[in-house]
Structure 1
Amino acid sequence: MVFAQCLRYIVKQNMGNSGSHCLGIPGGKGPNLVGCIDLMDDHTIQGSFLRLYYPCEQGGKQQQPLWIPRHEYYYGLADFLKYNRKLVDHALSHLYGSYRVPAEWDAPFKSAGKYPLVIFSHGLGAFRTLYSAICIEVASQGFVVAAVEHRDGSASATYYFEEKSKTVNEVGESTSFTIPALPFDQLQQKWLYYKPLKAGEVEFPLRNVQVHQRAEECIRALKLLTHINMGKPVHNVFPLTFDFTKMKDSLNLHKVAIMGHSFGGATVIDSLSKELQFGCGVVLDAWMFPLEDDIYTKVQKPILFINSEKFQWATNILKMKKLDSNTISRKMITIMGTVHQSFPDFTFLTGTFLGRLFQLKGTIDPHIAIDISNKASLAFMQKHLGLEKDFDQWDPLIDGKGEHIIPGTNIHLPLSNSEPNQ
């Protein structure tokens, strides 16, 4: 994806932050204060790992977490970009290391009826924190949002834990048949970095295996939250104070959506083909390449495609249009002046000059672009999850009506079938 190309330029130039004091991840505009925690329910590689965003109680003194939570994520980006780890760590720490996520870390959950649920899937080379602006906005509007960190080799970096006193085999499977809930101080981190293509390796088989694993990880996250909603005990590997019992009966599991960007967009479609509990999908600038052809007929749920103006190409759009239906709502809009990186948080944290130079910003104000995307997403979810909200005020956006929006696509079909490097 273009993410890699953008960061290559930044690392090569080793430039300082040219942004101003105004740079930062935007907070939520909805009526709810947003809290967040990290949740890992099983310390092994088989467990779920996600960042949970949720409406939280007022009045706490919780700290806002760092946007990039560990230096190992910089190392993962370096491996992804095939650059020296120390150079990337220095450059990106200088550019982005001080930014924090505008959500209250480990804040008490706000029990106020039943919240709809959104599962979010990140793009290639990303990880769970890089779409905080979208997740926080949706949570502020009265949703619980679970941003999955994928362990299929498509994240730049992620991790699980090993027991300090035991060995773990190559794929991270414990030699024991039971996985005890161990104290945090008895565990050590095991990092997984981006899995590159081998010399001469055909890309599709790898990406197809990955997209299916990603879908299973999204479904596993849904099942975990289902258990939490039922009041079943949950062990979080991380030593936080968050009281999961307050989430009992707090989720409306008849109103569940799935969202994702780029590779995460393909993950949305695959997940919809596998799990009927997802009521609809919102697909942000999808990379359709990983999906096999027989997936399309298996998807029976409404989908909203929100595309950038500068990323898409004919073959990719034609794959999206295979999902067109006369009976199931399938909508597509394009936001003018946007690029592929108008959806992740980098677009808010880079000054205009560097942002345009490295394709982290389009010509549109990134706050306007994400506002359009978020409002269209909320309106679509209200319509197809049956929410009793006022998001229907933004229904025209779904049909491509309004400033900065193109109904459908700006790509003229048919065009060349060549696919850009992701």
Structure 2
Amino acid sequence: MGNSNCRNLGIPLPKGPNAVGCSDFMMDHTLGGTFFRLYYPCVADEDAERPEWIPRKEYLYGLADFMKFNRNLSEKIFNYLFGSFKIPAAMNAPYKQNGKCPVIIFSHGLGAFRTLYSAIGVELASQGFIVAAVEHRDESASATFFYEKTEEMGEKKKASTSTPKPNPTAPDHLAEKWMYYRALKPGEAEFPLRNSQVKKRADECIAALERLIEINSGKKMENVLQTKFDWTTLENSMDLCRIAVMGHSFGGATVIEALCKEVKFKCGIALDAWMFPLDDEIYVRVKQPVFFINSEKFQWAGNIMRMRKLESSSTSMHRKMITIMGTVHQSFPDFTFLTGSWIGKILKLKGEIDPQVGIDLCNKASLAFLQRHLGIEKDFNQWDHLIEGKDVNLIPGTNVKEIS
């Protein structure tokens, strides 16, 4: 990746008591396998390698396709803007043994991928959580990859792009295959596609949880990416009675679908959720607590009405909604920290609020909600008032005029 004029921009450093490590995990190698980035408390090492925010140029191609820009031109622009940014976590750093950690599965939004919400991932890990940020293979990510077996063991890898950069960590008998975002076809109805995607996304979140449960049990796991991280050190590291699911936008809908499908998820946090992909009958089937954290500029009456449907169940007292004033839909991914004021506002990556103030409110409110509903013995309850929307930059519920 190239260099960019960083000025004072950058992904916020985590504020919790733990240093944060991260590593990528893929099992198995096929399209149907599991792929996620794991954030975890680690042994502190100031000289540790920091991973690039955009790990491969193919992700830039995917972002260009998603935004309907020219790939070659976009690669140059994106590389200039974002190419030098690093995630504030130590790549493949040793896991820090310090009791059992609650677990969060995170689902990205439409056109995103596993690294774009690192400000949230590193903060939660610094506060003692193990966070798996899934990269979805339902054609809703801007780009992702998997592997196919080559015809002969040891055959030189082939790639699906015209100018491949082979992944040096993959075995020689596997060929890298890239999958890019699938746009709607002319005349195609959107709901059937998004509905099938949200079901697959929930299944991928559940599969990621299942892999973590196996890792926690001490089962030997084959990571296709062959990273330097020792996954066996995570044995008995996770508190499997305290598991949550979290996501942004399409990932917010994925939260609701996953809660319906998997009771191991004890609660869910939906960031500016896009509720359109969900079946109507799902709302009465979700029993766990849900927290909707919305931006000021994205929501509309029909979407809020779908969120309100969850309140019709007997557990509605555990359903909360707040709105962060001065925010836009892209105030939750990392882009908001990495663009200057005028570019950020032109591209709708920044709102009126200081991006770090906005994400702090999101993270602190989330931590308070997680403590309340996972039974965590921490001091996150100092932020309980945020769950109720009590802050100068918050309002309880929504700013959207609802249909009566």
Query: Of 71, 86, 92, which aligns to 1:106?
Result: 92
Task: Give the structure 2 partner of residue 49 of structure 1.
Answer: 35
Displacement, 1:393?
A: 0.3
Do 1:60 and 1:107's aligned partners in 2 also have CA atoms closer than 8 Å?
no
Displacement, 1:166?
A: 6.0
Displacement, 1:240?
A: 1.7
Task: Give the structure 1 partner of residue 398 of structure 2.
Answer: 409
Distance 1:407 1:166, change over 3 A: farther
Matches within 5 A, 1:111-122: 111-122=97-108
Query: Of 329, 332, 347, which aligns to 1:343?
Result: 332
Deviations 1:126-149 (A, max 9, x none): 000000000100000000000000
SS at match of 2:366: helix
Distance 1:43 1:166 in 2: 16
Do 1:54 and 1:143's aligned partners in 2 also have CA atoms closer than 8 Å?
yes
Matched, 1:285 2:265: no
Task: Give the structure 2 partner of residue 353 of structure 1.
Answer: 342
Displacement, 1:257?
A: 0.5
Matches within 5 A, 1:304-315: 304-315=291-302
Task: Give the structure 1 partner of residue 315 of structure 2.
Answer: 327
Query: Of 28, 41, 62, which aligns to 2:48?
Result: 62
Distance 1:353 1:60 in 2: 34
Task: Give the structure 2 partner of residue 175 of structure 1.
Answer: none
Do 2:288 and 2:315's aligned partners in 1 also have CA atoms closer than 8 Å?
no
Distance 1:294 1:251 in 2: 33
RMSD in angstroms over aligned alpha carbons? Answer: 1.6
Task: Give the structure 1 partner of residue 125 of structure 2.
Answer: 139
Matched, 1:395 2:381: no
Task: Give the structure 2 partner of residue 374 of structure 1.
Answer: 363
Distance 1:309 1:34 in 2: 31
Displacement, 1:85?
A: 1.1
Distance 1:401 1:60 in 2: 37
Distance 2:392 2:376 in 1: 26
Give the number of aligned pairs: 385
Query: Of 108, 114, 118, which aligns to 1:128?
Result: 114
Do 2:45 and 2:90's aligned partners in 1 also have CA atoms closer than 8 Å?
no
Matched, 1:37 2:23: yes
Query: Of 132, 141, 158, which aligns to 1:155?
Result: 141
Distance 2:173 2:49 in 1: 26
Distance 1:183 1:368, change over 3 A: closer
SS at match of 2:179: strand
SS at match of 1:49: strand
Task: Give the structure 1 partner of residue 62 of structure 2.
Answer: 76
Greater relative contact order structure (CA < 8 Å, 6+ sep): 1
Higher mean displacement: 81-90 or 200-209: 81-90
Regions of 4+ moved over 4 Å: none
Partner amino acid, structure 1, of 2:94: P
Higher mean displacement: 355-364 or 337-346: 355-364
Task: Give the structure 1 partner of residue 290 of structure 2.
Answer: 303
Task: Give the structure 1 partner of residue 164 of structure 2.
Answer: none
Do 1:20 and 1:351's aligned partners in 2 also have CA atoms closer than 8 Å?
no
For structure 2, the residue ranges without an aligned partner over 5 or more in a row are: 154-168
Displacement, 1:334?
A: 0.2
Task: Give the structure 1 partner of residue 77 of structure 2.
Answer: 91
TM-score, L = length of structure 1: 0.89
SS at match of 1:147: strand
Displacement, 1:290?
A: 0.3
TM-score, L = length of structure 2: 0.93
Task: Give the structure 1 partner of residue 166 of structure 2.
Answer: none
Distance 2:142 2:346 in 1: 23
Task: Give the structure 1 partner of residue 160 of structure 2.
Answer: none
Partner amino acid, structure 2, of 1:101: I
Task: Give the structure 2 partner of residue 384 of structure 1.
Answer: 373
Task: Give the structure 1 partner of residue 159 of structure 2.
Answer: none
SS at match of 2:330: helix
SS at match of 1:323: helix
Displacement, 1:414?
A: 1.1
Higher mean displacement: 184-193 or 369-378: 184-193
Q: Percent identity?
A: 60
Distance 1:113 1:69 in 2: 31
